[in-house]
Amino acid sequence: MDVNETAPPSDARAVVLVIDADKSFVKTCRQALEGEGYKIIVSPSGKQGLEAAKAEAPGVVLLDWKAADPSDIAGFDLLDELVDVNSDIVPVVATADATVDAAVEAMKMGVFDFLSKPVSPEKLLETVRQAVGISEMQREAETKEEKADKYDLLLEGLDVLGEAYSIGLEKRQFLDDLARLENVAKSNAASRGEAKTREEAIAEIHDDLLDADAIMWNYDFQKNALIQILLDVQEKFRWLPRHILNWISGRLNIPLKDILVIANFYEAFSTEPRGRHTIQVCTGTACHVRGATETLTRVSAALGIQPGETDAKQRFTLETVHCLGCCALAPVVQIGSQYYRDPSQSQLAKLINSLEGAGGAEEATTGKEA
C-alpha cells in the first residue's frame, strides 16, 4: 500500500484536529483538506482542543507552538496532555514563530513535522497525508499485536530523526532520501513481488542509520576513519546508500561533498545499488596474457551486462579486478568466495542459474572459503 497514491479513507481515522485561533490558517486547512475527504475539527484554544481530542479521537493534530492567549495551554505542555489523552495521535506543528530551537525541541518530542506559517495548501496536504499514514500504521500495529515491535521501531526511528535535526541534518534531505528509497522500492516491486509502504521505508532507514551508527562507534566517530567506515558500510549494504552518507556526514561533521569525493575516488565503493552476487573477472597481467579478455566477453554475454553494470533485477554485478593473487589459475573468475579457472559457457550458465535459483545472497557464501 502506498500512502501517497491511495485516496484518504473516509472513516473516522481520517479525522484531523486543528488547534489554532488563526482564522486564515484554519481556512487554508479546510480548503486543502476537506476536498480530499479529511474530516476537520477546529478548536480555537488548547483547552477546547483537549476536549475535542477526547471526544473525536483524531488521528492527526495540527497545533501552533504558541497560544494566542497566554493563559491557554500550548506548545510543549499541550503536546504532553494530548499524548496523555491519546498516545497514538500524530502531532504536526504549524507556527509563525519557527525558530530553530523550537523546531529542534518539537522534533525531539516526536512531532512529525514542523511547518512554518504561512503554509501553502499543497504543502499542508502533503504533510497531513504523511501524518495520517503514520497514524493509520500505528492503529494497525495496535490492532495486531505482532506488529507492536514495528510500532516501537517507528517511534524510535522518529526519535533518531529528531536527533538528526538537532545535529544539523536537513529535514529536506531526509525526505529526499525517503522519496528515493520509495522509488527504489517501487521499481523493485515488480521483480520482487513486494512494495514498501512509507512506514516500512522509514523503519528501514531507521535500521540503516542504527547500523551506520554501530559501524561509526567501532571507530570512535573519528573523522580520519572515514575510509574504514565507508568500507564497512559498503560491505554491509553492498553499496553506499545516499541516506547513510547523509547520516555519516552529519554525525562526523564532514561535508557530504568530501564524502562523495572519497566514494568516487576509490574503486571499492559504489554509489549505485549492486547486485546480490558479484562476479569478478580478473584482468591482472597474468590473466590477461592467458586470455582474460575473451573470458570477460563470454561472462558478459552470459550475464547480459557489461563490466561495471548491475542487472535490472539487482541479481548480479559484473566487475573486473586487477589481480586476485591466484595467478596460477589464470584466467580466473571469482563468484562469491569461489574461484573458477576460465569457466566454459555451460559451466557459466550452470553457475549463474544456481545463484539465481537460490535467489539469496547466502548461497554465494557457501563453498570453498576464500
Partner 1 sequence: MSRIATPGDLVKLRDRLNAKRNAKATWLAVCAGTGCRACGAMALADKFEEEIEKRGIGDKVGVRRTGCHGLCERGPMVMVQPAGESYFGIHPENVPAVLDQVETGKGDVEQFRYLDEEGGKRVSKLSDVPFYKHQNRVLLENNLWGDASSIEDYIALGGYSALAKALTEMTPDAVLNEVKEAKLRGRGGGGFLAGRKWESVRKAEGEPKYVIVNADEGDPGAFMDGSLLEGTPHSVLEGLILGAYAIGAAEGFIYVRQEYPLARKHAQLAIDQAREYGLLGEDILGSNFSFDVKIHRGAGAFVSGESSALMSAIEGHVGEPRPKYVHTSEKGVWGKPSCLNNVETWANVPHIINKGAAWFKGMGTAESTGTKIFSLVGKVKNTGLVEVPMGITLRDIIFKIGGGVPAGKQFKAVQTGGPSGGVVPEALLDLPVDFDELTKVGSMMGSGGMIVMDTNTCMVDTARYYIRFLAHESCGKCVPCREGTRQMLNILDRIASGEGREDDLGLLEELAEFMQAASLCALGQSAPNPVASTLKYFRDEYEEHIREKRCRAGVCTALIAYEIDQSKCKSCGACQRACPAGAIDKGGKDGKVFTVVQEKCIKCGACFSACPDKFNAVTKVPALSIKR
Which residues in this chain contact partner 1 in the complex, by CB under 8 A? 223-228, 230-231, 261-262, 265-269, 283-291, 293-294, 297-298, 301-302, 321-330, 332, 338-339, 344-346, 368-370
Question: In the complex, what is the shortest distance from the CB of residue 168 to partner 1, in angstroms, rounded to a whole number?
Answer: 20
Nearer to partner 1, 160 or 227 (CB): 227
In the complex, the smallest distance separating the C-beta of residue 211 from partner 1, rounded to whole angstroms, is 19
Q: Which is nearer to partner 1, 192 or 223 (CB)?
A: 223
- Name residues whose C-beta falls within 8 Å of residue 74's C-beta, 6 or more positions apart in sequence: 46, 63, 64, 65, 66, 67
Strand pairing report for 277-282 and 332-335: antiparallel
The residue (of 214 and 370) whose beta carbon lies closer to partner 1 is 370
Specify the residue, 7 or 328, whose C-beta has the smaller distance to partner 1. 328
Question: Which CB, 265 or 357, lies closer to partner 1?
Answer: 265
Closest contact distance (angstroms) between CB of 262 and partner 1 is 6
Smallest separation, CB 261 to partner 1 (Å) = 6
DSSP of 3-45, one letter per residue?
TTTSPPP-SGGGEEEEE---HHHHHHHHHHHGGGTPEEEEESS
The whole-angstrom separation of Cα 134 and Cα 154 is 9
* Helix 148-166 / helix 171-192 crossing angle, nearest 10 deg: 140
| Min CB(333)–partner 1 separation in Å | 11
Contacts with 285 (C-beta within 8 Å, 6 or more apart), sequence order: 323
Phi and psi of 252, rounded to 5°?
-95, -5
CA distance linking residue 235 with residue 13, whole number of Å: 42
Look at strands 338-341 and 39-43 and give their pairing: unpaired
Residue 217 C-beta: closest distance to partner 1, Å: 17
What span, in angstroms and rounded, lies between the C-alpha atoms of 55 and 39?
14
Residue 21 or 326 with smaller CB distance to partner 1: 326
Q: Is 160 exposed, middle or buried (0-12, 13-18, 19+ CB in 10 A)?
A: middle
The whole-angstrom separation of Cα 81 and Cα 64 is 15
Q: How far is the CB of 246 from partner 1 (least distance, A)?
A: 18
Closest CB to partner 1 among residues 194, 294: 294
**Distance between CA 302 and CA 290 in Å, rounded?**
20
Minimum CB–partner distance for residue 83 and partner 1 (Å) = 43
How far is residue 134's CA from residue 198's CA, in Å, rounded to a whole number?
8
Quick one: 81 or 342, whose CB is closer to partner 1?
342
